[in-house]
Structure 1
Amino acid sequence: MAGLDGLDEWVVTAAVELGLEPADVPVGLVLDLAKDVAHNVVRPGAPVTAFLLGLAVGRGADPTDAAARLAELARQWPTPS
């Protein structure tokens, strides 16, 4: 993982706390999805969408596929008039 001002250390620490392998955390994927949602939908939707992605993956969804579907949905989201 490439560092983003302490992000690597946080991800490793949080992953270990939750019994996860830090190497299994797709940081870039989650950050890209959060960016798409924050910029195209609404900023508070970014962490909520990351949580939704986590729920879907926890229930067996492929993280790359689920993130791609959500990112595409966010990019197609209608802009407010």
Structure 2
Amino acid sequence: MSELDQWVAEVAVELGLGDVEVPTREVLDVARDVAHNVLRPGAPVSAYLLGLAVAAGADPADAAQRISALALRRAAPGN
């Protein structure tokens, strides 16, 4: 178990989430895309919004891809 996996497990227990599957790679990809293509403070806020979307029933991979695509479109020339 990586240090990140251990931290995620500890936070999940602390928040009463139990043994929850966290799409760590997708969350990190969203944070990277937003931080590099939109603005740094947008990364954690976007990760939070991703969590809200998943809690409301969105597919984690789809929601992450949509946020990343939006960030990449913002960075595209002409935008």
Q: TM-score normalised to the size of structure 2? A: 0.85
Q: Which among 74, 77, 81 is matched to residue 71 of structure 2?
A: 74
> Which residue of structure 2 aligns with residue 17 of structure 1?
14
> Which residue of structure 2 aligns with residue 45 of structure 1?
42
Q: TM-score normalised to the size of structure 1? A: 0.83
Q: CA RMSD in A?
A: 1.8
In 1, distance between residues paired with 2:75 and 2:9? 36
Give the unaligned 5+ runs of structure 1.
Answer: none
Moved over 2 A (4+): none
Give the unaligned 5+ runs of structure 2.
Answer: none
